[in-house]
Amino acid sequence: MAVAARTPLIAGNWKMNLDHLQAVAFVQKLHWTLKDAKHESESVETAVFPPFTDIRSVQTLIDADKIPFALGAQDLSVHDSGAYTGEVSGAFLAKLDATYVIIGHSERREYHAESDAVVAAKVKAALKHGLVPVICVGETAADLEEHGASAVPVSQLEAALEGVPASADIVVAYEPVWAIGSGQAATPQQAQDVCAALRGVIAKVLGDEAAARTRILYGGSVKSANIASFMREPDVDGALVGGASLDANEFAAIIRFEKHVGV
Rounded least distance, CB 222 to ligand 13P, Å: 5
Instruction: Give the list of residues 6+ apart from residue 114 with CB closer than 8 angstroms, or none.
Output: 104, 108, 122
Classify residue 213 by burial, with Cβ atoms within 10 Å: 0-12, 13-18, 19+. middle
Q: Which is nearer to ligand 13P, 33 or 221 (CB)?
A: 221
DSSP state letter for 82: S
Show the site string, 190-219: x = touches ligand 13P by CB under 6 A, - = not: -----------------------------x
Amino acid 37 reads A
Q: How many CB atoms lie within 10 A of CB 88?
A: 17
Binding segment for ligand 13P (CB under 6 A), chosen from 123-131, 159-167, 192-200, 242-250, is: 242-250
Q: Is 234 a residue that touches ligand 13P (CB under 6 A)? A: no
- DSSP state letters, 130-156: T-EEEEEE---HHHHHHH-SSHHHHHH
Catalytic residue from among 105, 107, 114, 129: 105
Q: Is 240 a residue that touches ligand 13P (CB under 6 A)? A: yes
Q: Is 220 a residue that touches ligand 13P (CB under 6 A)? A: yes
Known active-site residue 175: yes
Known active-site residue 105: yes
HSE-up of residue 139 (Cα within 13 Å, Cβ side): 21
Instruction: Give the list of residues 6+ apart from residue 255 with CB closer than 8 angstroms, or none.
Output: 10, 34, 39, 44, 46
Q: Is 236 a residue that touches ligand 13P (CB under 6 A)? A: no
Q: Is 244 a residue that touches ligand 13P (CB under 6 A)? A: yes
Active site residues: 105, 175
Residues that bind ligand 13P (CB under 6 A): 13, 105, 175, 180-181, 219-222, 240-244
